Amino acid sequence: MEFKEVIGRRRSIRYFLPYRPVEREKIQTIMEATRLSSCAVNASFLRAIVVERDKLAPEDLEALKVPTTTLQLDMAPVHIYFYGNLNAIQESHGQTLKELFDVGALNPTHGWSHKFIEETVWAQILDPISKDPTINPIAVSMDSGVAMNQALLTAFDEGLGALLTAFNAEKAKAIFKVPDHFMPLYAMLIGYPAESWEAGGQRPRPALESLYFEGEYGVPMQRDPAVVEQLKQDKMIQEPAPLPWRKDEVRALSRMFGLPE
């Protein structure tokens, strides 16, 4: 698919074919895309534990659930449990920035040098941030979110369905032997969708003008109808939910899986 269509086709898929496994090469592709995401100071903040549902003990699978994440865990053949490494900046100790300088991504034209990294960026900025319990988790969450979104879009590009969802972090820590400095974020559930890829239509979102501003707060960004039409042709903007047949689809899925209607 073209990139804009991948964005347009992304849905939170909640009905998976539980009996159809996901090819390992597709999972690796998703994780490779995650690894290549943009990250501050070239420190890879995101960590992940990839789990095949059928290799989990039934009691562990049940323990990982929270009130909003129940049936999805049972249906999705693959779970990826995402964590933010709270020690990532300290572990980099500025060396990852020096790597960027050495390969020409950071350059003297913008004031960069090994000395600048050591004496200014590390000593005055990164080291204090990494030790600040209020700022460090925010930085880790922001960069981890970028990587998770890259994983999510790649899953759809691979023809899969996916969902970012909550999980029982306390139980997961024990089950997966997660270290203390890994901050729980989301689980990404992956599988082949049992529902149609449209999943009832593109989800409702606020108007662009109500979210974004030009020049200063309170000046709405103007939406060009011609751009909207082009994005519809490119399949980024698609038919909005609810599509007229959605309730019939959900009813059929309920009967197929023996679920309450």
The answer to the question of residue 184 being in a domain is yes
Sheet holding 182-191, edge to edge: 46-52, 78-85, 182-191, 161-165
The answer to the question of residue 159 being in a domain is yes
Element (H, E) at 186: strand 182-191
The answer to the question of residue 247 being in a domain is no
pLDDT of 6 reads 98
Burial per residue of 170-205, b for 16 or more beta-carbon CB atoms within 10 angstroms, e otherwise: ebbbebeebeeebbbbbbbbbbbbbbeebbbbbeee
The answer to the question of residue 96 being in a domain is yes
The answer to the question of residue 133 being in a domain is yes
On the CB side of 163, CA atoms within 13 Å amount to 24
The answer to the question of residue 256 being in a domain is no
Q: How many CB atoms lie within 10 A of CB 35?
A: 14
The answer to the question of residue 155 being in a domain is yes
CA 63 to chain centre: 23
The answer to the question of residue 143 being in a domain is yes
Counted domains in the chain? 1
pLDDT of 247 reads 97
Contact of 26 with 49, CB cutoff 8 Å: no
Per-residue pLDDT of the chain (261 residues; tens, 9 = 90+): 999 999 999 999 999 999 999 999 999 999 999 999 999 999 999 999 999 999 999 999 999 999 999 999 999 999 999 999 999 999 999 999 999 999 999 999 999 999 999 999 999 999 999 999 999 999 999 999 999 999 999 999 999 999 999 999 999 999 999 999 999 999 999 999 999 999 999 999 999 999 999 999 999 999 999 999 999 999 999 999 999 999 999 999 999 999 998
CATH number of domain containing 132: 3.40.109.10
d(CA 261, CA 256): 11
pLDDT of 26 reads 98
Residues spanned by the domain of 97:
3-194
pLDDT of 239 reads 97
d(CA 91, CA 233): 46
